[in-house]
Each structure stands twice: as structure tokens, then as C-alpha cells.
Amino acid sequence: MTEKPSGPPTEDHTPGDFAEAAEPFALFDEWMADATRHEPNDPNAVALATVDAAGHPNVRMVLLKAVDPAGYPARGFVFFTNYESTKGVELLAHPYAALDFHWKSLHRQVRVRGPVTQVSDAEADAYFATRPRSAQIGAWASQQSRPLESRFALEKAVAAETAKHLVGKVPRPPHWSGFRITPLEIEFWHSRLSRLHERVMFKRAEAGGDWTKTRLYP
């Protein structure tokens, strides 16, 4: 396969030396803010890796909905899904995950690994309440990741749920909620010329612990 040029030289995409950062959360916020300005869509899209009961990896995209502010005990990365989906079942059985953000137009990648916890009902309710009504109905209608007989069967389920929730607020389905990944590792990657990329890994032994920072060969 011939390689297409991947845009302008990238030396200038990250002014300053991001290896100077003392801790990863502020740097992540900066990079997410840059992505929000530059990516054409879904700057918060992230690949989420889990493992199944056989120890086999699985990966799919989700949308990052929050990064906790400083001071939050299990400060981490939050997304929402159906707990009965494949990812939901895998995370409930083996609550450890990896994330991979790739902001193509910025030539940047951030990788995260850490233990996973369930968000509180209050957090899930608060986020669910912000979703468009049609997406709230969809959360009731979709048995995510289970076999669907036909598109018509889904449309019937949507119609039935719409009829059930004609008036008033749509409550959050009990099986629809969020997961929080509390990072013990965060790696920042920025492409440089000749594949001599910049990599900086932050690690800590436990949530709330001190970060160590290491440069890695590209």
C-alpha cells in the first residue's frame, strides 16, 4: 500500500515540550481542548478495549462524556452505555480497561489504562436527562449487542417505548449507565518527522498516588 502524505510536518503541532508536564490531567485537558477546536467531528471519540471471559481483547468506539475535576477521589474518564451490552458484561466481569484517543488532524494519541468503576445512579440520571428524548427512548428500545431479527423489530420496539413514554420525563433504564476509568497509566504521543515520535508515559501505583514520568523510545 502506498502511503499518503499525512499533512504538514508536525514539529509545530505541540508548541513547547509536553514532556515538561508535571501531571497528566492538565495536559489531557489541553489536548482535548485543542482537539475540540481542530477535529471535524467527535473529538471525544475514543477506542475502548476490554477483555472477555477467555481473556481475549475486544475494542469499540465510545464517546468520552466527562473527565473528573481535580480533587475527585476516583478522578477518571467517564462514558455511558448499556450494561447488558458486550462491553457492559465484559467490564462488570473484569473491571479494567484501556482507552485510545487518536486526534488525526493534530497527529496526537493518548492512551489510558486503569481500573473501572460504575458511576453513581445520580451521575447517570443527570447525564441521561441531558440526552435528546429520542436517544432516551432508544436506550429503552435497544437490547444493545444482542441479535436483532430485523430493522422492523427495532422500529416496533421504538414505537412501543415511545407510546409508553408519551408524557413526562423518560426515566433512565436501570441497565443504562456509565463507567469510570481511573487511570494508572496515561501515555501522550505526538508524531515527529521520520517516525521519531515523542512519547511520555505517566504511571502511578494507585488512584491519588504520585505520578512518575518516563520518556519512551518511539
Ligand X SMILES: Cc1cc2nc3c(=O)[nH]c(=O)nc-3n(C[C@H](O)[C@H](O)[C@H](O)COP(=O)(O)O)c2cc1C
Q: Residue positions in the annotated binding site for FMN?
A: 60-65, 80-81, 87, 109, 144-145, 189, 199
Backbone φ and ψ of 170, nearest 5°: -85, 120
Is 180 a residue that touches ligand X (CB under 6 A)? no
Using CA atoms, how far apart are residues 143 and 123, in angstroms rounded to an integer? Answer: 22
Q: Quick one: what does residue 109 bind among ligand X, ligand PMP, none, with the CB cut-off 5 to 8 Å set by partner type?
A: none
- For the chain, helix (H) and strand (E) counts, in that order, are 5, 10
Q: Which residue is nearest to ligand PMP (CB)?
A: 63
In the bound state with ligand X, the residue whose beta carbon lies nearer, of 58 and 214, is 58
Closest distance of CB 90 from ligand X, Å: 7
In the bound state with ligand PMP, the residue whose beta carbon lies nearer, of 137 and 200, is 137
| Rg for the chain, CA atoms, rounded | 20
- Nine-digit cell string for 103: 486526534
Is 131 a residue that touches ligand PMP (CB under 6 A)? yes
Closest distance of CB 2 from ligand PMP, Å: 32
Is 179 a residue that touches ligand PMP (CB under 6 A)? no
Closest distance of CB 191 from ligand PMP, Å: 27
In the bound state with ligand PMP, the residue whose beta carbon lies nearer, of 173 and 183, is 173
What is the amino acid identity at position 114?
Answer: G
| DSSP H or E segment with residue 103 | strand 96-103
User: Which of positions 38-97 make contact with ligand PMP (CB under 6 A)?
Assistant: 63, 80-81
- Nine-digit cell string for 75: 478522578
User: Which of positions 134-163 make contact with ligand X (CB under 6 A)?
Assistant: 144-145
* Exposed/middle/buried for residue 205 (C-beta within 10 Å: 0-12, 13-18, 19+): exposed
CB–CB of 4/184 below 8 Å?
Answer: no
**Phi-psi map region of 44: left, alpha, beta (phi>0 left; psi -120 to 50 alpha):** alpha
In the bound state with ligand X, the residue whose beta carbon lies nearer, of 63 and 153, is 63
Using CA atoms, how far apart are residues 198 and 107, in angstroms rounded to an integer? Answer: 11
| Residues engaged in binding ligand PMP (CB under 6 A) | 63, 80-81, 131, 135
| Residues engaged in binding ligand X (CB under 6 A) | 42, 45, 58, 60-63, 79-82, 85-87, 144-145
